[in-house]
Structure 1
């Protein structure tokens, strides 16, 4: 299993093949077994397999997300899209049932619910990979939350935060080199800067030599360009802020 995790890549080309019902059941059990802070159960997951819905979701992202030039056809070719959501409906009902009023909208609750949802999503990714399936995270679903709420009947106090595509890999990408993120005993800001410089060189060589879409670039330049552009994630930010106001 460790070797499978170390060789993991994001899959953006899937075979047109269904995942059998028994495997779907196993994957759903993995999600249900995921830990939540204080056993609060403040995330939910919707499994989407209907091809017409997957195609509609792909078209919504093409329409609403800034990078319209991105080919997202892999979205509807996948066998399954698991959409993980911050879900405070159970919390609200538990409080109402006990004649209490929940404190909603706080940063700690939002951070905890987001963390729980991502833990569940990561467990599902790990389980899928262990079964020989390919996966790809979709953070851009936060840009189409209003449409998803209607499409998936996400009623009440619930917000889609990340999607995970799962299917049978049609094409395996080159393994992308990763930067060090582990420190022993204490953190080092000096090491961070040195590692970024080193990684720029490593990543540049990777981009030049990879089998497809090779180009002359590094890691820090395109990443910092995106993250310093106020308009790139405007849709995602506004959707999340509007939901927070609702709380």
Structure 2
């Protein structure tokens, strides 16, 4: 156990921030930490947009699902899968890169690159005593987000990250048991064991909610997931991604 591991294991989402902006030094450190993440073939296929303009933050808070902590935080980052830079590279070098940068493979590379950078940023922020919350709601209305952030073709805002000084902290949610997530040599073949592990996790999650709410709530994880997944959400994504010339080959 060391300070890095303690920081990682102590993660929880923060949705209540003090109204206090980050310093430029803090922002610079968080972004530099993001840039230190691994990147496939040195492509660095992502960009980070820091949103500080109050009006833009208010608009984003509305379009991502009326989440007030998108507007009230120390700094709001939007992590984008970005292949526009590589289209420009093709122009500069007089090379036709259209097919590769519009392929599913490079789309996946860009999303992975953005995700790796974001997790480095999150760990850096939390190591500085700050709180973070990922905002997947950025994908609720990508056309609106695109207009607010003025992103070009080949750039996909993947998620946001609210960062700031925590005004209050939630308890850490229990994760799936290690033996369910980590498998050796092959995927879990015993379906009955697989379900048993999920039932055991259900008991842990139900206990967490019961303690947190004084017995008013005993949700299970599988119940939550089934309820969420039976509802169609963001079904426009395939068409939108193709519209901005990504993942079409």
Alignment of 1:1-247 (within 5 A): 1-62=4-65, 72-102=67-97, 103=99, 104-179=101-176, 180=178, 181-190=181-190, 191-210=193-212, 215-229=217-231, 231-236=232-237, 238-244=239-245
Calculate the TM-score normalised by the size of structure 2.
Answer: 0.87
Work out whether residues 143 and 236 of structure 1, in 8 Å CA contact, stay in contact via their aligned partners in 2: no
SS at match of 1:159: strand
Provide closer, same or farther for how the CA distance between residues 160 and 18 of structure 1 changes in structure 2, counting only shifts above 3 A: same
RMSD of aligned C-alpha atoms? 2.2
TM-score by length of structure 1 reads 0.87
Q: How many residues align?
A: 238
Q: Deviations over 1:81-113 (max 9, x none)?
A: 111111111211222333322223322111111
- On the 8 A contact 1:78/1:168 being kept in 2, the answer is yes
Whole-angstrom distance in 2 between the partners of 1:235 and 1:50: 28
- 8 Å CA contact 1:41, 1:90 repeated in 2: no
Aligned equivalents of 1:15 and 1:212: distance in 2? 27
- SS of equivalent to 2:49: strand
Distance 2:244 2:37 in 1: 25
Matched with 1:66 is: none
Name stretches of at least 5 consecutive residues in structure 1 with no aligned partner.
63-70
Q: Distance in 2 between the 1:51 and 1:96 partners?
A: 36
